[in-house]
Amino acid sequence: MNMPAAEHQDAAQVRPVGDEYEHSIERDAPVAAPVLSPKTLTSAGDLLRALAAPVRIAIVMQLRESERCVHELVEALNVAQPLISQHLRVLKSAGVVYGERHGREVVYRLVDEHLSHIVVDAVEHVQETSGPHKHLQSLHGTEEP
C-alpha cells in the first residue's frame, strides 16, 4: 500500500493474527488521570455510600427543589416518620444535608448543589438506560405501573 506518510499515520492498520486479521486504529497515548489521595477517595466513597439508598435518593431529589421539614418529606415520599428521620441522620452525618430549627420544626436543606447533581445524574442515567418505567421500583419495592 503506497500512502503518503501523513495519511498512513491516521489510517487503520490490518495485521494478520492466525487465520484472522486484526484491525487497529492508531491513537494518541491516553492522558493519565490525576492521582487522588487515599483520604479523598475514602471521603468520596463515604459520600456515595450515604447516598446509596432509595429513600435517601428521594430525599435529596425533594430537597433539591426546596427546603423541607420532616413532615413534608413524610407526606411527599409516603414513608414513615421514623424512617425519614433515620435517613436524614445518615445524610446529615455525611455532610449532605443540614437542619435549621424554626420553632418546633427542623427545616432541612442540601449543603450544596454538587450533591444534587450526583443524584440527578444517577437517576437520569438509570432512566435513559432502562427506558420508561422499566425495572423501576417504588420506595417500598413494588413495581410501578
Q: What is the pLDDT of residues 8-24, one digit of tens each?
A: 444 556 566 665 666 56
Which residues constitute the domain of residue 67?
Answer: 48-130
List CB contacts of 8: < 8 A, sequence separation 6 or more. none
**Is residue 4 in some structural domain?**
no
pLDDT bracket for residue 6 (50, 70, 90): very low
**CA–CA separation, 58 and 53 (whole Å):** 9
The H-or-E segment that residue 107 falls in is: strand 105-110
* Tens digits of residue pLDDT in 61-111: 999 999 999 999 999 999 999 999 999 999 999 999 999 999 999 999 999
Task: Give the CA count within 13 Å in the CB-facing half-sphere of 19.
Answer: 0
User: What's the predicted TM-score (pTM) here?
Assistant: 0.68
| CA distances (Å), origin 6, targets 3, 127, 128 | 8, 44, 40
**Is residue 26 in some structural domain?**
no
Amino acid at the residue 87: H
Domain CATH for 105? 1.10.10.10
Domains of the chain: total? 1
pLDDT bracket for residue 32 (50, 70, 90): confident
Predicted pLDDT at 19? 59
**Is residue 23 in some structural domain?**
no
What is the secondary structure of 21-37 as a DSSP string? EEEEE--PPPPPPPPPP
**Is residue 24 in some structural domain?**
no
**Is residue 13 in some structural domain?**
no
**Is residue 143 in some structural domain?**
no
**Is residue 29 in some structural domain?**
no
